[in-house]
Amino acid sequence: MKTRTRKLCLALTLCATAAFFFSCRRQPKWQGDEKLIILGIDGMDPQLLKRFMAEGKMPNFSGLAARGSFRLLTTSIPPQSPVAWSNLITGMNAGGHGIFDFIHRDPHTLQPYFSASRVEPPKHGIHLGSWVIPLGGGSAEQLRQGKAFWEILDDYGVPNSIFRMPSNFPPVQAKGNTLSGMGTPDLRGSYGTFSFYTDDPLAAVGTVEGGQIIPVQVEGSQVNAKLIGPDNTFRKGSPPAVEPFTVAIDPLEAVAKISVQDNKFVLREGEWSDWIHVEFQLIPFIGNVRGICRFYLKQAHPRFQLYVSPINIDPADPALPISTPKNYSGELVEETGDFYTQGISEDTKALSAGVLDDKEYLQQAKTVLAEHRQIFDAEFPKFRRGVFFFYFSSLDLNSHMFWRLIDPQHPEYDATLATQYGSALPEFYQQIDQVLGEVLQHLDDRTTLLVLSDHGFAPYNRSFNLNTWLLNNGYITLRSAPNPDQSQAFANVDWSRTRAYGLGLNGLYLNLRGREREGMVEPGAPADALMGEIQDKLLCVRDPQNDVAAVTRVDRASEVYQGPYARQGPDLLVGYNRGYRAGWQTILGNFPAEIFENNTNPWSGDHCIDYTLVPGVLLSNRPIDATTPALTDIAPTIFAQFGIPQPDGMMGHPVFSSTRAQVK
């Protein structure tokens, strides 16, 4: 209904626009031949980019910056990818699109959930985590609100292709080719669950973050194990569907032969398989789902160690919608071969868990970029007119993982590893420079190019445990002493004596009467006063290790968000200083003993901090007139290019003062 009202408003605005000469009843169709190319480079950092440009590593970026323009791009509040790309997609901030963080909370249960997922009521279907395959009438549901810019381009007949845009799973209905990106689950409905099979009695078996370590026996040089698929709701208790596989280990050589369904292949130690197709049987002949995965033989002897990637939705026969048109992902497979469909494809969790080492993770991360480049090389030459958007994840994930090897100040910096893998991140930047080189060859005076990132990057040296700080400062009361092994969010919290709590990477919520289940802070003046008090105190927090301010900015949602969802997110947005981030446990509602901790995770760079400290980049072949462009200016810029009036509720302004493409 809301969408329909918005459409109507748009149509009325349109009637008043003299530029369109068709009758109001018919949507005017764009007839031009102009082109707008947008390269979306997640996490490309202006400081690193300038450094690599100065070192001569990025000749195409240097050329573009010299001939066109290079600006900092104001990121979203908070500067997290799902929020930031939603700002770009809708031209609105979180108040307009409703994505505030990777993690949201239900004020009634006070339990966290991933912001891209929705828990469906139990239906007789196939559950992939929170999603339901539409066998039982349910379906995957997009949680981002607001209209995507390409839906409006479709309304005006501007052709467009949108590749791997984050926060677009399942992809919104579109006329062009679109492929979903960050937020797309694996076949188990998670954001990526690897499996690691080992007979090492010392391995810590069980569930680890992002994966499972599964004990196996080697008997007569053979291993029998199972691949774990989606939960099978057709069976009592909804156990996960499994498919057996066997591994025959050569008794002398470091080689193993793996058999799974119809696939038989040999891996040497240290070798990755191609994509392997697996079908999970749920109800025979009716409810089967297909996935793809890659095997890596880490060790054959003396201990057996086999890594299996998260089982990705098979793009040739997707269990959930991942593209428009529906068969487009399958067409891509025919052209380029199989590819990772899981939103965050780089297996950072396996590196953090110690299952893959730097070398092995790097091989995997390079495969991801190679696949993206293959798709780019197949699709970009087909682009003729309208809008072409392509997203690259590599700089973001690899800056997260390899910051510790480019920054000698980082507590996890390791000089030996740095000589081996310190060049990995600059080399990923150079690959993006090569992609830009391919694009620059095809620019003409009808083409506008935007190269942009959603945010920059910063070191993540120290964790700040916001909930522990709130506890120690009397804003949270526990029923009993915090249990460090407790992983359930806010276990033990006495809500009747708790005034505020932290959840997600930057969110701080008041325990507000009438909103939270046991809210006890009165809305209005008392809530305002409490927010002011917490803001002031947080800005005074110093790290005892070095007397540095841990928090440099605290924003009130009511002051920075506009739109219908402005009140659904956190009340305060905590902006950390460079070098700091909310700790791993506090973001999920737990209470580590110390307020500050060293970050020892290989995930050593981050950007979920004070948004003014991690701007993104915006480069163009045309002079950018805006001096401080923001992500929310990109959608208005796209519309201005094609003479489309800016829809109601959209913030921001075109970054160019004149439009190039005119309605003809």
Q: What single letter denotes the amino acid at residue 569?
A: G
The residue type at 436 = L
CB of 392 to Zn ion, least distance (A): 13
CB of 607 to Zn ion, least distance (A): 6
Pick between residue 155 and residue 396 the one whose CB is nearest to Zn ion: 396
**Least distance between Zn ion and beta carbon 76 (Å):** 12
Closer residue to Zn ion (CB): 616 or 636: 616
- Phi first, then psi, for residue 125 (nearest 5°) are -145, -165
The nearer residue to Zn ion, 45 or 396, going by C-beta atoms, is 396
Q: Shortest approach of Zn ion to residue 609 CB, angstroms? A: 11
- Under a CB-based contact definition with an 8 Å cutoff, are residues 523 and 513 in contact? yes
Q: How far is the CB of 91 from Zn ion (least distance, A)?
A: 22
For Zn ion, the closer of residues 68 and 602 by Cβ is: 602
Residues 6+ apart with CB under 8 A from 74: 611, 615, 616, 628, 629, 630, 631
Strand residue runs (E) in 138-275: 160-165, 177-180, 194-198, 206-208, 211-215, 222-231, 240-249, 255-260, 263-268, 271-272
- 508: tokens are 């701080």
DSSP 588: G
- Shortest Cβ 81–Zn ion spacing (Å): 5
305/415 Cα distance (integer angstroms): 28
Q: Which is nearer to Zn ion, 230 or 575 (CB)?
A: 575
* Min dist. Cβ of residue 75 to Zn ion (A): 11
The DSSP code sequence of 350-395 is HHHTTSS-HHHHHHHHHHHHHHHHHHHHHHGGG--SEEEEEEE-HH
386, 159 contact by CB (below 8 A): yes
Closest chain position to Zn ion (CB): 396
Q: Shortest distance, CB of residue 83 to Zn ion, whole angstroms? A: 11
What is the C-alpha separation between 164 and 142, in angstroms, rounded?
Answer: 15
Nearer to Zn ion, 116 or 133 (CB): 116
3-state per-residue secondary structure call for 442-501: CCCCCEEEEEECCCCCEEEEEEECHHHHHHHCCCCCECCCCCCCCCCCCCCECHHHCCEE
Distances in Å between the Cα of 44 and the Cα atoms of 179, 395, 452 are 21, 6, 8
Nearest Cα residue to 214 out of 203, 114, 445, 150: 203
Smallest distance, Å, CB 220 to Zn ion?
46
Are 249 and 221 within 8 A, CB to CB?
Answer: yes
Closest to Zn ion by CB, 48 or 493: 48
With respect to Zn ion, which residue has the nearer C-beta, 44 or 503?
44
Can you tell me the distance from the alpha carbon of 497 to that of 657, in angstroms, rounded to the nearest whole number? 54
Q: What sign does the CA torsion over 520, 523, 526, 528 have?
A: positive
The two three-digit tokens of residue 296, written as one number: 């890596």
> What is the closest distance, in whole angstroms, from the C-beta atom of residue 454 to Zn ion in the complex?
9
* CB contact set of 327 (below 8 Å; sequence gap of 6+): none
Query: Least Å distance between CB 605 and Zn ion?
Result: 8
Cβ(128)–Cβ(320) under 8 Å? yes
Q: Cβ 581 to Zn ion, closest distance in Å? A: 11
Number of residues that this document lists for the chain: 664
**CB distance 122 to 167 below 8 Å:** no
Locate tokens 């301010």: which residue? Answer: 549
Footprint on this chain of Zn ion (rule: CB under 5 A): 396
Q: Between residues 69 and 463, which has the closer beta carbon with respect to Zn ion?
A: 463
Rounded distance between C-alpha atoms, residue 363 and residue 467, angstroms: 37
The nearer residue to Zn ion, 321 or 456, going by C-beta atoms, is 456
Nearer to Zn ion, 117 or 398 (CB): 398
Give every CB contact of residue 546 below 8 A, 6+ residues apart in sequence: none
According to DSSP, the residues that pair with 598 across neighbouring strands are 462
- Closest to Zn ion by CB, 298 vs 455, is 455
251's tokens = 């008794």
**Residue 272 Cβ vs Zn ion, minimum distance, rounded to whole Å:** 24
Question: 396 or 407: whose CB is closer to Zn ion?
Answer: 396
Residue type, 403: W
CB of 399 to Zn ion, least distance (A): 7
For Zn ion, the closer of residues 81 and 341 by Cβ is 81
